[in-house]
Structure 1
Amino acid sequence: MKLSDVQHLELPPSADMHVHLRQGELMDLVVPSIRAGGVDTVFVMPNLIPPITTVAQAQEYRSRLQSSEPQVQYLMSLYLHSSLTPEVIAEAAAAGIAGVKLYPQGVTTNSESGVKEVQDFHAIFAAMEKHDLVLNLHGEVPYPTDKCSLEEAFLPTLKDLHERFPKLRIVLEHCSTTAALDAVRSCGPSVAATITAHHLYLTEEMSHVDPLAFCKPIPKTASDRDALIKAACSGDPKFFFGSDSAPHPLTAKQSGKQVSAGVFTQPYATQLVLLALEEAIERGVIGEEEVTQERLELFLSRAGRRFYKLPQPDDLQKVVLERKGETIPSSISSADGTIEVGLSRATSSVFSLSWASK
C-alpha cells in the first residue's frame, strides 16, 4: 500500500487505550468528539478532581460518559492511591474495572495525590496480578536528572515490577524515547506500551515553542520520534495506540502563562497517526512497504484489544477514510462559546472520516 496514493481506506475502529475525558463542561465538549477520530473504545484516565479511587466513583463516571456518547465502550481505571486495598482491587475486578493507573507524585496534571514510593504498593500489585487487572504506568520520575530523561530514569522501576510480578499485565504509557521502547521489548509478553499520535510528529523543540504542543512526557529528539514511528508500524503487538489526548481550555494553553501540559488530538486521533506516517515516509524514515493494512489495523485497533482481552471488531464495524481536502480546524468550542479547546496540527490536511453503515 502506497499511503500517499491512497484515496479511500477502510479500517476497523481504533481502540484508544489512553485518553483524558475530563469532567463537567469540558467533558461534555470533548466526549462527543471521540467517534469523529474513528475510535469506538477508550481506556479512561482517572486523574480527575478528586481522583477516581473507588469502584463506585468509576462506575458513576462511566455512567456520565455513556450519557454523553453511548456508542463508545469506556474501559475504566482507578487512581493508585494510599486508600486502595487488595479488597478494593478484588471489588474492581468483579465490577469490570480494567486497570489501575500509577502516577508518580507531581509528574503531570492532577498527580498531586500520586505515588511517592512504588514499593509501598507491592500488596496492591500482587492483588492486581491475582485478579488480572492491568497496571498502567506514567513512566517518569518527578525530579530532574542530568544523566537521562525523566522517562529513562523510570525504566528500572518498570523492569523491577515486571521481575517481581511476572504475570501482572503492565502498560508503559505514552513512550517518548528509544530507551523506553527497548525496555518494553526486553520484558516478557505481559508488558506492553502505548504510543500517542503526537509523539509521532513532535520533537522537544516544537513542544517548547508551541503551547498547544506542550505535553508530558515532553517529546524528545527527532531520533526518538523516528524510533516511535518504526515501532508503530513494525507489526510488534507490544506497541499499540493510546492518544493521551489531553484537553485544556485554550486560556490555559496561552503563551506567557504557566502552560498546562497536554496535546488535544481526540477529534482526529486516527487521521493524525496516518498523517505522521505519511510524513515519515516523505522523510525516508520508513518505506511505503512498511505501512500495510495489517500493520495499521494491529497498531490502531487489534493489538490493544488483544492485550486488554477484548473481542475484535466484527467485519461490519468499519471506519472509512477518504481524501476530500479536509483540514484540521484551530479549535472546538461549546455551543455557548464559554469553553474552547485548541487542536493539534491545525490547518493540516487529513483524511475525512466517516462510519460505514451496517
Structure 2
Amino acid sequence: MKTLTIRRPDDWHLHLRDGAMLEAVLPATSTHFARAIVMPNLVPPVVTTADARAYRDRILKAVPRGHDFTPLMTLYLTEATRADDVEAGFRDGVVTAVKLYPAGATTNSQSGVRDITKVQPVLERMAAIGMPLCVHGEVTDPAIDIFDREAVFIERVLEPLRRSIPELRVVMEHITTKEGVAYARSGGGNLGATITTHHLIINRNAILAGGIRPHYYCLPVAKREVHRLALREAATSGDKRFFLGTDSAPHLDPLKECACGCAGVFCAPNTLSCLAHVFEEENALDRLEAFISLNGPAFYRLPPNEARITLKRQEEPVAYPKSLVMRAGPVTIFDPMHPIHWNVCEEAI
C-alpha cells in the first residue's frame, strides 16, 4: 500500500500548555487533528467550568487562520470540586470530561486527589449524566516500584472504583502495560483506553541504555518490551476499546536536560507518520483509521469527522526537524530512532 485515505483523526489526550508554548505547539496538532481532549494540569490548574471556558477561549484565539480545530476541555478533579459545577459545564457543552490525577503522579499533579472517597459524590453525579472520567492510572505510594504503579493502580483503585460506581464511564489514559490492556478488554462498554504514539515505539531501553536520554522520559514511564508488544497488538487489533491519545507533552529542553528533568514527550508533529509506520509493520494499515479516527469518537459519543486526510508512503525518509524553536529555547520533537517513510500529503485544515 502506497497511499491511505482516512477520516481526519482526533487526539484524545493532549497537553497544549499556555501562553507562548500554547501558541508554538498548537499548529502541530491543529494541522492534522480535528479535535483534542485538552489536559487541565496548568499552573494553576483548570478546576472550574469558568477556568475551562477561559482556557478554551485562549486556545481558540491561538488556532492558526484556516485551521479547523475544536478543543474538548477537561476539569482537573480535586477534593474541593463541586458536582453542580461539573454538571453545569457538561450540560452547557463547555466541558467534555473530568481528569483524575493521583496527587504527585505526574507533571503539575500536586493538587490532585489523595483520598478517592472524598470525590465520590462528583463521580456519582458524572455517572448519572454520562460524563467520562479520564484517569492517570498510577499509584504514588513510594514503596511501589515505578514500573509496577499502573498494575497496582488497577488493583487498588480502579477496580474498586468501578465496582462501587459501575455506571461511571472511564478512560484509562496512556496505558503502558499488558495488565492495562487486559483490564481494558475485561471492562465492558463503560471502559476505554488511550495509547500513545511513543509507547508503541519505545521501551525502557530508550531511556536508560547507553546513557540517560531525557527526551524519552515520560509518565507513565515506558516499560519492558513485553508491554510494548502488548500495546501494539491492542492498538492494531481494531478493538473499539483502544484509541489514540498522543499525550504529546512539550517542555523546553533546559527543563528536560537537568538534574530533575520534566516528564513528557513532544510527539504531535510526527505522530501520524510514526503511527502509519507502526501499523504497516504490524500488517494493519487497514485498521489505522479505527484507532485514530473512529474508536475515540464512538466512546465519547461524538460523530466521526467527515473530512479526510491522505497519507502517502515515499521512497525517501520523511525529514522532520529535531526541535521546535521558541524564543525561550528549543522543544525537542520525538525521534522514533528509525526512518519513517509515511507522510501526510493532503492536510485537512
Q: Same fold per TM (> 0.5)?
A: yes
| Matching residue of 1:3 | none
| Matching residue of 1:301 | 293
Structure 1 position 268 matched with structure 2 position 263: no
Distance in 2 (alpha carbons) for counterparts of 1:101 and 1:246: 16
Query: What amino acid maps onto 1:331 in structure 2?
Result: S
| Matching residue of 1:330 | 322
| Matching residue of 1:27 | 22
The RMSD of aligned alpha carbons is 1.8
- C-alpha deviation, 1:51, in angstroms: 0.4
Contact in 2 for aligned 1:159/1:187 (Cα 8 Å): no
Contact in 1 for aligned 2:276/2:285 (Cα 8 Å): no
- C-alpha deviation, 1:146, in angstroms: 5.0
- Among 256, 259, 262, the alignment partner of 2:261 is 259
Bigger shift: residues 319-328 or 88-97: 319-328
- After superposition, the C-alpha distances for 1:253-309 in whole angstroms (9 at most, x for unaligned) are 22x52111001001112212122334xx3xxxx4x2xx042x211111100001111
Bigger shift: residues 204-213 or 10-19: 204-213
| Matching residue of 1:223 | 226
- After superposition, the C-alpha distances for 1:152-173 in whole angstroms (9 at most, x for unaligned) are 1100221122212222110000
Aligned ranges 1:278-317 → 2 under 5 Å: 278=280, 281=281, 286=282, 288=283, 291-293=284-286, 295-314=287-306, 317=307
Structure 1 position 91 matched with structure 2 position 85: no
Contact in 2 for aligned 1:328/1:349 (Cα 8 Å): no
Distance in 2 (alpha carbons) for counterparts of 1:20 and 1:146: 26
- C-alpha deviation, 1:7, in angstroms: 2.3
Aligned ranges 1:1-358 → 2 under 5 Å: 6-36=1-31, 38-69=32-63, 71-96=68-93, 97-144=95-142, 145-146=144-145, 149-156=148-155, 157-208=157-208, 209-254=212-257, 256-278=258-280, 281=281, 286=282, 288=283, 291-293=284-286, 295-314=287-306, 317-324=307-314, 325=316, 326-334=318-326, 337-345=327-335, 348-355=339-346
Contact in 1 for aligned 2:9/2:305 (Cα 8 Å): no
Distance in 1 (alpha carbons) for counterparts of 2:262 and 2:146: 26
Distance in 2 (alpha carbons) for counterparts of 1:321 and 1:18: 22
- After superposition, the C-alpha distances for 1:313-339 in whole angstroms (9 at most, x for unaligned) are 22xx111212343222100113xx333
Q: Alignment partner of 2:26: what SS?
A: helix
- Structure 1 regions of 5+ residues with no counterpart? 1-5
Distance in 1 (alpha carbons) for counterparts of 2:273 and 2:131: 30
- Structure 2 regions of 5+ residues with no counterpart? none
- C-alpha deviation, 1:78, in angstroms: 0.2
Q: Alignment partner of 2:10: what SS?
A: strand
Quickly say closer, same or farther: Cα 1:342–1:350, change in 2 above 3 A. farther
Quickly say closer, same or farther: Cα 1:189–1:258, change in 2 above 3 A. same
- After superposition, the C-alpha distances for 1:111-152 in whole angstroms (9 at most, x for unaligned) are 010110112111110011112211000000112415970101
Pairs aligned (count): 337
Normalising by structure 2, we get a TM-score of 0.92
Query: What amino acid maps onto 1:73 in structure 2?
Result: T
Normalising by structure 1, we get a TM-score of 0.90
Distance in 1 (alpha carbons) for counterparts of 2:100 and 2:158: 11
Contact in 2 for aligned 1:16/1:41 (Cα 8 Å): yes
Quickly say closer, same or farther: Cα 1:357–1:248, change in 2 above 3 A. closer
Distance in 2 (alpha carbons) for counterparts of 1:271 and 1:65: 25
Q: Alignment partner of 1:76: what SS?
A: strand
Q: Alignment partner of 1:14: what SS?
A: coil
Q: Alignment partner of 2:34: what SS?
A: strand
Quickly say closer, same or farther: Cα 1:322–1:168, change in 2 above 3 A. same
Distance in 2 (alpha carbons) for counterparts of 1:349 and 1:172: 29
